[in-house]
Structure 1
Amino acid sequence: MREQSGRKECFFMPKYKATAYIRLSYTDDHSSESDSVSNQRKLIENFVERNPDIEVVSEKIDDGYSGIIFDRPAFKEMMQDVTDGNINCVIVKDLSRLGREYIETGRYLRRVFPAYGVRFIAITDSIDTAHDSSDDLTVSVKNIMNEAYCRDISIKTRTSLDVKRRNGDFVGAFPVYGYMKAEDNKNLLVPDPYAARVVCDIFRMRLEGASASKIASELNRLGILSPLAYKKNNGLPYAKKGYADKADCKWSATTIIRILQDETYTGTLVQGKQGTPHYKIKQMEQRPASEWVRVPDAHEALIARQDFDLVQRIKGLDTRTSPNEDTVYLFSGILICGCCGSRMTRKTNRANGKEYHYYYCPTGKKKGCAHPVMLKESSLIDCVRDSLKAYIGNIASLEALLTGIDQSSINQALAKEYSDHITDNERRLEQVLEFKARLYESLVGGMLTKEEYASYKAKYTKQAEDIRESIRVLKEKLTEVLENRSERNRWISQFTQFSTLETLDRRALIHMVQSIRVRGKKELDITFTHEDEYKKALQLLALAAQQKDYEQRKVG
């Protein structure tokens, strides 16, 4: 109000219809009380009381949203009010409440808000686009500082989580089916008694030859709750993308396959499968398996490592079933034609009311197999069963011999042997690297052409890589010997558990047989599982005999 020409004339400041925008991120929630929703609201209310030209017509709150992204529900509602002309002023506590990403925040301040005639106010930063105080330099500096803060928080959070993962701490929100978080330690997984039994049954049925669909059907028939239904029924938290269909919460083949492929059940904690490529990008991406963090023995195992590995091997086999059956054929994926290498196919003939089962090479003479073989399943079963019983007997004898040897003296001999090999390889590596280093001098001195230089360099580089790999393997073996690992002969139980074998079934076959090559009707080449371990055990016995002979000669 002012006086002009002897009379009073009133001028009213224009009213601004404003939105009070409040944002609180997860990190803010744990950092400062001054950033709380109530404190932001109170600060804005006090500011408006001192500025009668502003009227707050709405309040928008984004609670739990990062300032690095602008895809926030309340923020989008506010911008809709801006475009609809319902508001012409936005008030925030400080610039970081609007956003912490430099480029996008600057775009709203310099382009979007001015285009719609919107006044922007950041109270504690003294930014008000209606006045000259909000100069570009101040806004730019604060924007850069806000983004740097966000980047710093992201790096610290990622680093902290990575350290926990590598220490074997569970950092996920939802444990896999079969486990729960320990009551006194949220970073430790412990078996869930009910679900753990179901997981064990799933692996057992798979090893017995049941297909994933068969297992799912059996669990549904028995009325066993699916992972999602179990968590819902017990009031447990669960991921939005659960194992089962949300509509009926039934077991499915997909659910079974996911469980069978999860290494967590062996006691190995596998984390870091997903992540964001950059702190500005919130969309999760699948990481390659080489980047996953694996920590063995992080928690109690539900499934033995040998059984888990067997289930993974089964995936690569030809596990065909007949149209009316849910159980895999006994020799599916294992039986191979010794002539052409094709997997043999099961065939059923019917005569005089009886069924006769055969295995034959599907390639045949017409397609290139010179000597295709067909043999009865019954004869094959008898032959394989007898071979397995004989092999199990050999393994049992081997176990008895291994028990009787002096393991400590053998370990000393093995350790010396590996150490000597490592020393020899390190000496060879040093020589190769020296030869490689002299190549350039030979090139400069004119003793080698460029082509010869490149050829020798590639040759020595390859030799060095091979030697380094040999050293790595030898050091692993040396460490294994020095640690005297008790699981070294655990593979033996994979055979001795079937010592009373009378009826050949899928479980026994998968445990003990890698493949069977059919050379003729009575000629089979059986490749057993753990053949490398078997050979090592024989070498160990030979070494023990040498050691014993040496000790006797030494005494004599």
Structure 2
Amino acid sequence: MGGIGEIDVAFKGILYDFFSEEKSSKVLLTLDTKRGNGKYIATYAPYGYVKSPEDKHKLVVDEFTSQIVKRIFKEFLSGKSMYKISEGLNRDGIDTPGVYIAIQVGSEKQLARYREKKPLWNNVAIGRILGNEQYTGTMIYSRFKNENVGDKHAKALPEDEWKRVENCHEAIISKEDFEKVAAMQKENTCASAKRKHEIHCLTGKMICGNCGHRLSHTYAGRPKYYCANHYLDKADGKCNISVLNVDMESVVKKVLQMMIDVLVDSRKVVDMQREKQAERLKQAEKHLSDMEHSRELIEKDLREAYESYKLEMTDKKTYLEQRKIYEQMLASLQENIEKQRAAVTKMTDVDVP
């Protein structure tokens, strides 16, 4: 019966996978059909757009954020670095895409969290906008694919396998400008690859003591760590932190040495505690052994008193008095032996860390 049951469970699993895959394929086919017809399916509109009030599957240009997108492309084409573009947006108090999405959704809790953290524009946010082809009016989909039913992580497909629907919505950026930006980014990537340095061992581990942001690292000039938050938000002058590699390494080495010294000292303390514990246990075991030896002597005396009585060397009254005394002594001693044995067991079970 067990074998049949296992086969039944396995068969049900196969059926489940089959129907799940079939259902998943139908859902994906339906979504792809909608996207192929130019319908926008994602939860949030890209920065620069909003969903049309009349048709939630249609993107329309957002008057304010579309100007920010145009500004980013224009400044990059003029030769500004992504860092300089970020600096300007932060200086002008422009909300990041994350904050704007929270405003779109109407999530007061999420918006309050964003406001508290004071998110800033950075190279990553600028790079995502510069690389988003949807700003040319083209719908892009099928960029990822799940290998199996239930996969949590989809596999990224090569760009030439992406599906596109052109002129799907109003363009914010011309295709010519988008292609120019893509070419400039590719050129910058190639140049960066030529001067690529090894990642410093402390990269990503150093935190700014003022604002809590991770310190950035650069090999330009004298290699150093610095707080990018200071450069991205010039209005906040608290984070003017810059530490050379050699100085940072020296501080870290000193801290590590202090931790090692503390660890060594703590081990010495533990060793001393273990020695004291072993000595206390040794004394307790000796005391228990002495008590057990005393019990044996009393039991011997009791036997000898009985032998004397049997041989009529002592009278009955004397023997009974002696036996009473010995038995009282044995009872008291046995009680103390049990207590001492429990104490020894407890000391044996104690583990000094």
Shorter-chain TM-score range: 0.3 to 0.5
Length-normalised TM-score, structure 2? 0.47
Task: Give TM-score, length-normalised by structure 1.
Answer: 0.31
Structure 1 or 2: larger helix share?
2
Compare CA radii of gyration and give the structure with the larger one: 2
Q: Larger relative CO (CA 8 A, sep 6+): 1 or 2? A: 2
